[in-house]
Structure 1
Amino acid sequence: MPPVSTESAVLILAVSQLLVPLLNGLLARRQTKHEAAADQVPLLVQSLTAVAQDVRDIKAELRVVSEHGTMLKLIELRLRALEDWMGAARPQLHNVVNHVTLLLGERDAGRQLQRAAQTVNPKDVGPTR
């Protein structure tokens, strides 16, 4: 290695006097940033844990909603079946009501005849011969 001149040595010393504090400052800032980031890790883990719990809760609620949706579809199918049955039963029920009304009318007419027969006394009618 060739010998370094005095001027070069002074220049190197002056530059090193400027660079060393600058490099130390950069290293200190970098160290501070790393420490701050390391301090944030527990908070990030806590936040991620909370988010994961929220995701689990949402999934559970979605399962419940899905079950309710399935139950609702089943109830709708049953309701449609009941409505179809009622639609088919209405004419039959109407026929039964008509028959019952007719029978009750005949029964009432029969009662009226019995009452009339009871009110008419055979003695009042006189000889039928």
Structure 2
Amino acid sequence: MIGCPIAGPQIASGSLTTTELFYDIMNKAMPHIERSPQNAFQHRFHHTVQYGAKYYSYLVARASASLIWQQRFQMDPFSRKWGECWAEVQSHGGGHPPSILLEKILGFRPDSKDLTSALAKESKHLSQLDAITV
């Protein structure tokens, strides 16, 4: 935000805090959500402060989850076979590379086309759901 041409000088001089800037932006973007002007939400919600490559890992995780759902649970969410397989996959925590764990649950190692296809199917499904009014 310091490099932002609109607010950068005020932040650098101390006449505008990042909390005030965030509050102002959020009030304009989402006026229907109540928030306190002093809560410094941006320090707890890291997406607004430090995104970097983490964003792409979220996409891969979401695509992987979608692929697992579509391939193994969508037709039978309570499948004992796939539930036990999923429990075994999860039992390793972060001890194995994701590609190996995905291969265990899916029976194949998904490539970028598989992952983007899973995201596209999920997006299409979500776009067909009724809107929620707040």
> Which category of TM-score, normalised to the shorter sequence, fits these structures?
under 0.3
User: Which of the two has greater helix per residue?
Assistant: 1
Per chain length, whose mean CA-contact separation is higher, i.e. which structure has more relative contact order (CA < 8 Å, sep 6+)?
2
TM-score relative to the length of structure 1: 0.23
TM-score relative to the length of structure 2: 0.23
